[in-house]
Amino acid sequence: MEETYLLNVEGVKKKILHGGQGELPKLQDGSKITFHFQTLKDDFERTVIDDSREAGIPMEIIVGKMFKLEIWETLLSSMRAGEVAEFWCDAIHTGMYALVSRGMRRIAEGRDPLEGQKHRCGMGNMFDYHSTGYDDLDELQRMPQPLIFIMELFRVEEPSAYKRDTWAMSKEEKLAAVPMLHSEGNRLVLRKEFGQAAAKYQEAVICLRNLQAKEKPWEDGWLKLESLVTPLVLNYCQCQLELGEYYEVLEHTTELLQKHNDNAKAYFKRAKAHAAVWNEREAREDFLRVAHLDHSMAAAVKKELKQLGERMRKKHVEDRKRYQGLFQPPQGK
């Protein structure tokens, strides 16, 4: 027999549909909760608004990371692993649901959840644009109303029990993760596992870029983080050279040089990428720039220019052979 419980929270009722196992989870900041959910209107038809099972991937939230629908942490904290429960929540708890649902839907569609927003709070953006882009959510936004959440709790993991996603880390955690990722990338390079090494360097860069976004460009805090980013990007580009991803190298070195136009190592890696894709003029310009900026690299530049000249001569000979006679009429006509 289903029983209705009060959670000592105004405007919330709980009904257990299937009992769980074990003790109630002890949530702390950083705990990861994995669950499925279904959101319904409190109408005669119990109209379904969202269902995580349709996407085939359970929902995950990190406790204490300012998830916009705070009541969900309260609901999930009352559940045991394996439990399925139905919660009725009054409109005082569901006013932000339209924004939350819009973000989740955009992620499921492979879109940026913040696409089109200005740098303002969520409610400010809503009033500015007047629409979530979904008719049913627009209705909820105009008229906040009670909602029903049916949740199935799979597991609660402590912060130390799972690999933290970059976005879920605090500032201190990101700063601590960067040297570890850098070191792990270097170790993988020594083993010639360049793909895995590139992923480590890239993850470290993402940590630092997230922190940089909160600093004012070109001021001390931003510059300090940028000094950590630069060698990681260069290491990443070296891995991509080894993997033959030359256009990836061109993109990242060019972006780096737009900020630091005196970085000889960035020019050197870009020159090698240009040479690999037969951009002879650009490669020569970058190699000569390297020699001008860093005299200690002059010998390496001389060697690369010699190899470039030999490769280009060989290519020209092959091209002449390939196209020789292509536009000449056949003999005897």
Q: What is the pLDDT of residues 105-130, one digit of tens each?
A: 877 776 555 555 444 444 444 444 46
Whether residue 163 lies inside any domain: the answer is no
201 lies in the same domain as 102 = no
197 lies in the same domain as 104 = no
Q: How far is 273 from 236, CA to CA, in rounded Å?
A: 13
What one-letter code names the amino acid at 162?
Y
Q: How far is 237 from 272, CA to CA, in rounded Å?
A: 11
CB burial of 268-304 (b: ≥16 within 10 Å; e: otherwise) equals bbbbbbbbbeebeebbbebbebbbebbeebeeebeeb
State residue 233's pLDDT score: 96
CB 84 within 8 A of CB 95: no
Q: What does each C-alpha distance from 103 to 122, 227, 245, 306 come to in angstroms?
A: 11, 33, 33, 54
State residue 295's pLDDT score: 92
Q: Which of 117, 133, 157 delimits the end of a domain? A: 157
What one-letter code names the amino acid at 292?
H
Q: Tokens for 207?
A: 């940590």
State residue 176's pLDDT score: 82
Whether residue 78 lies inside any domain: the answer is yes
Domain containing residue 14: CATH number: 3.10.50.40
122 lies in the same domain as 223 = no
CB 52 within 8 A of CB 162: no
- Domain hosting 130: range is 4-157
Q: Which of 157, 185, 209 delimits the end of a domain? A: 157
Whether residue 330 lies inside any domain: the answer is no
Question: What is the number of residues in the chain?
Answer: 333
CB 83 within 8 A of CB 18: yes
CB 11 within 8 A of CB 90: yes
121 lies in the same domain as 177 = no
Q: How far is 274 from 175, CA to CA, in rounded Å?
A: 34
| H/E run at residue 12 | strand 12-18
Tell me how many helices (H) and strands (E) the chain has. Answer: 13, 7
Residue ranges, the chain, pLDDT below 70: 1-6, 65-67, 110-130, 160-169, 319, 323-333
For residue 173, give the nearest of 64, 60, 58 by alpha carbon. Answer: 64
State residue 60's pLDDT score: 85
pLDDT digits (tens, 9 = 90+) for 207-258: 899 888 888 989 999 999 999 999 999 999 999 999 999 999 999 999 999 9
Q: Give me the residues paired with residue 14 across strands.
A: 5, 87
